[in-house]
Structure 1
Amino acid sequence: MDHDMSRKPRDQQHKSCRSRALVLLIAVATNTAIFLLFSDTSSAIGIRSGEHGFFWKSTKLSFRDINITEYALAASRDELLHLHDRLATASSLVVTLLGINDTSSDMAAARDEQKHAGADGLWQPELTGELRLAVGPHKLPLGFTKNLGSDQLFPAVGQACRRFPDELERYMNYKPGGECPSDEQFSQRLMLKGCEPLPRRRCRTRSPAGYAEPTPLPASLWSMPPDTSIMWDAYTCKNYSCLANRSKTKGFYDCKDCFDLLNGREKGRWTRDDGALSYSIDAVLATKPNGTVRIGLDIGGGSGTFAARMQERGVTVVTTSMNFDGPFNSFIASRGLVPMHLSIANRLPFFDGTLDIVHSMHVLSHWIPDVMLEFALFDIYRVLRPGGLFWLDHFFCLGTQMNTTYVPMFNQIGFNKVRWNARRKLDRGIKMNEWYLSALLEKPTT
């Protein structure tokens, strides 16, 4: 028994020493491989080191050769960084096995660093195929780096896309040069999660069978488009007649009757001013010198009726809309208006101080988190020109929120109040303490 007890510690020590030696051997081999790889790559592309650094073997190189060389260097650099990461992992393993600085605090700090790197760092290295190609980076040609301040170009992809890698891989799973998948609702859900803008795709969207030319302006502003103008795969309704009557159908989103241009509420919207919550377009335009309101934006504009009314008065309005169980963007375009498929979380794609008017009805309401709403309001302030109008149409909130949250928020933005009307909702507002706010606000000129 004494012999066995004394032998076990010695066996464990020998095994531990062999393990440490093996890990050290792996680390040395990895360093050697990196050195050899980098040396081979340098010689393969015709670069060698001299007393004064790297120089070319031949001075007769074309721009094509230079570009090829730059791409080869970039690939070598990426491979070197990848091997460096592997070496760091091996070194960390060696440190752990040898017991160097092996404390719980060090391990916790490393885990925290990895956690932050995963949440706030770059894309994960295992991206492949079309997704990896779409997010870049892409090497710029010589001579294009001065204004950009970089020799690489990164395509615009939403920051939150990194949080949904599996769904993004599914979105980018298609045959390049072929037909795009029928995934409109899926891609829209990704956008609503914050993955906006989505990466570009190299595929072709389908055209509907029997496509008909649009109705000419101005008749198109108030006419139903032909059913063959869009694909109906993604929607519960399969024609425009169903959409026009969907107020009688359960399971739909808001804006139930906004596709009925002939018999619904759309025909009379913004034509009458009740002196309270409902403003008329003519009354709003009358607050400015004639002809000075020329271009604008309607946030969450449904089927585009606000833009149609403004078009009749010589004002060009872009309408943002999402396709909630209906082809809103296609419908807007069929009326001869400009749709923009954009969620409320996206930065408005307009330059500072360019728009004469921004309008929003129902969309900007208390369902938006306070911080996001404040960012959106400041963004509206940014794109309006000095003296530009922000028409907040039927902003919805609870009575307890009006004075404690939203009035201070609007005051902080810095708009001047041209009109301001608050009322309880007539249906259940008294019982539930629900309120509407309509306001006409002006960006100060100084």
Structure 2
Amino acid sequence: MERELLGKKPDPKRRQCWSTTTVTLILFLITNTTSILLSSGAGASLVRRYEPRTVRIWDDSGALIADLNATRSALESSRAELAGLHARLGTATLLLQTLLADVVTAARANDDQQKQAATGWWARELAGELKLAVGNVASAGEAALGHACGRFQDELERYMDYKPSGECPSDAALEHLLMRGGCEPLPRRRCRPRSPARYVDPAPLPKSLWTTPPDTSVVWDAYHPCKNYSCLAASHGFGFDLRGRHEKGLWTHDDGALAYSVDKALAAKPKGTVRIGLDMGGGGGTFAARMSERGVTVVTATTNAGAPFGSFVASRGLVPIHVGPARRLPFFDGTLDVVHAAGELMAGWMVPGDNMALEFALFDVYRVLRPGGLFWLDHFVFPGAQLNATYAPMLDRVGFRKLRWNAGRKLDGGAKKNEWYLSALLERPMT
């Protein structure tokens, strides 16, 4: 029995099983060692340095060779991944360097701006509330006030002359003067506007649209020639006489020529798609009131020059906004359904004699209109010889599409000057 056992030949299957286990353990160790080297950053160089050109282990074992080839393929993938990570790291480094450079540039620009504000803009050193307002905002990297304010230091110091936490002076005229001169934005102030005596709540909508507000709804400043709305209705007429036939009839009838009606203008677009808009130089807000009756919200750009237009518009349940004529319109790109610019009231916005300012204004109107939005030019006054020579080509250059176009001689005082009216309904193209 012993001889038979000693003389017995090894079982080839058992030897193959033992060999497979050994090779598997070796492969396991190699794979884990390679992973550690790759994760430490040294793996790629070691693989390149010690990689054998061929692997020959038990040529009769196809499964083992397949496993080794799979391991080599995994190593190659890891090497490619490491190369990609190095490339991404390089890109991230460049982006970080660019960001740091931008931060340094912005910091230097802010320092230069503060130095210029202390020397170049002003005739003398700032003091008091003006110095606090400008310095506090400038330290945060924001523009505290418009660059043109440097030309109005005396007026701006008067505007900022008040008792902190007290009542603001009645200086709407001074505010308007500064904004018209390009001093915009104005600095914030630490004072409270005076409330009217015996103030009462406004009339409810829709009654408020055509109800003259009580005289106690507004503070009548010293520079106002009138001290009540009855005086304004008699002197100004347009905008304040809500019971008069003229105001009640505005934009209700279409004569097929210069006078357009709201309903005809809205009919140019699918029903309900004109929802929000702007009335440039809107006076007392009657255009916005007419549109409100048809479910359209229109913001009225107006001023308090000579009369409390802003307070009057707000008392009617409408939204007034005070924005300077040279300022970029405070609306996002492509958001408004309609922009209305009415006659001589928009002279401060679009001066026919200043063609460059007019072109800038028209492009800004185009910007805030959505594709398909309407631009309603309403009795725009211009020198007669300039329609085909200047204004029609300018509107084409801006990119408006003509839906309606009417021109006629201005007879009420403008005939001797050869002045004409232009009414037009224009559209920002859909594409």
TM-score by length of 1: 0.67
Q: Which has the larger radius of gyration?
A: 2
Match among 343, 365, 368 for residue 380 of structure 1? 365
Q: Distance in 2 between matches of 1:339 and 1:264?
A: 24
Q: Does 2:182 align with 1:194? A: yes
1:232–1:264 CA distance, 2 compared to 1 (3 A): farther
1:138–1:157 CA distance, 2 compared to 1 (3 A): closer
Match among 394, 404, 410 for residue 419 of structure 1? 404
User: What amino acid is the match of 2:148?
Assistant: A
Q: Distance in 2 between matches of 1:303 and 1:337?
A: 10
**CA-atom RMSD, angstroms?**
2.5
Q: Please report how far the alpha carbon of residue 264 of structure 1 lies from its aligned counterpart in structure 2 after TM superposition.
A: 4.1
Match among 149, 168, 182 for residue 156 of structure 2? 168
Q: Distance in 1 between matches of 2:138 and 2:422?
A: 51
1:241–1:343 CA distance, 2 compared to 1 (3 A): same
| Structure 2 equivalent of residue 159 of structure 1 | 147
Q: Equivalent residue of 1:356, what SS?
A: strand
Q: Equivalent residue of 1:278, what SS?
A: coil
Q: Does 2:417 align with 1:436? A: no
Q: Distance in 1 between matches of 2:380 and 2:190?
A: 40
User: What amino acid is the match of 2:390?
Assistant: T
Q: Distance in 2 between matches of 1:132 and 1:155?
A: 14
User: What amino acid is the match of 2:145?
Assistant: V
User: What amino acid is the match of 2:224?
Assistant: Y
Q: Distance in 1 between matches of 2:428 and 2:393?
A: 17
Q: Distance in 1 between matches of 2:264 and 2:138?
A: 53
* 1:192-341 map, 5 Å: 192-233=180-221, 234-247=223-236, 256-341=237-322
Aligned partners of 2:405 and 2:422 also within 8 Å: yes
Q: What is the aligned length?
A: 317
Q: Which moved more, 1:425-434 or 1:228-237?
A: 425-434
- How big is each residue's C-alpha offset from its partner over 1:299-326, in whole Å with a ceiling of 9 and x where there is no partner? 0001000000000000000000012211
1:428–1:174 CA distance, 2 compared to 1 (3 A): closer
Q: Distance in 2 between matches of 1:184 and 1:414?
A: 38
Aligned partners of 1:387 and 1:443 also within 8 Å: yes
Q: Which moved more, 1:378-387 or 1:152-161?
A: 152-161
Q: Equivalent residue of 1:136, what SS?
A: helix
User: What amino acid is the match of 1:238?
Assistant: K
Q: Distance in 2 between matches of 1:398 and 1:335?
A: 35
User: What amino acid is the match of 2:205?
Assistant: L
Unaligned runs of 5+ in 1: 1-73, 86-116, 141-151, 248-255
Report the identity percentage.
64
Q: Equivalent residue of 1:358, what SS?
A: strand
State the 4+ residue runs in structure 1 displaced beyond 4 angstroms: 120-125, 137-140
Q: Distance in 1 between matches of 2:191 and 2:240?
A: 30
Q: Does 2:389 align with 1:389? A: no
Q: Distance in 2 between matches of 1:262 and 1:139?
A: 49
User: What amino acid is the match of 1:320?
Assistant: A
Q: Distance in 2 between matches of 1:218 and 1:428?
A: 37
Aligned partners of 1:258 and 1:264 also within 8 Å: no
| Structure 2 equivalent of residue 24 of structure 1 | none
User: What amino acid is the match of 1:157?
Assistant: L
Q: Equivalent residue of 2:407, what SS?
A: strand
1:153–1:123 CA distance, 2 compared to 1 (3 A): farther
Q: Equivalent residue of 1:432, what SS?
A: coil
TM-score by length of 2: 0.69
Q: Distance in 2 between matches of 1:231 and 1:289?
A: 43
Aligned partners of 2:218 and 2:311 also within 8 Å: yes
Q: Distance in 2 between matches of 1:244 and 1:314?
A: 27
- How big is each residue's C-alpha offset from its partner over 1:327-368, in whole Å with a ceiling of 9 and x where there is no partner? 110000000000001222221100000000000101155456
User: What amino acid is the match of 1:334?
Assistant: S
1:437–1:209 CA distance, 2 compared to 1 (3 A): same
| Structure 1 equivalent of residue 131 of structure 2 | 132
Aligned partners of 2:133 and 2:144 also within 8 Å: no
Q: Equivalent residue of 2:268, what SS?
A: coil
| Structure 2 equivalent of residue 6 of structure 1 | none
* 1:86-101 map, 5 Å: none
Aligned partners of 1:321 and 1:343 also within 8 Å: no
| Structure 2 equivalent of residue 371 of structure 1 | 356
User: What amino acid is the match of 2:423?
Assistant: S
| Structure 1 equivalent of residue 334 of structure 2 | 353
Aligned partners of 1:259 and 1:303 also within 8 Å: yes
Q: Equivalent residue of 2:416, what SS?
A: helix
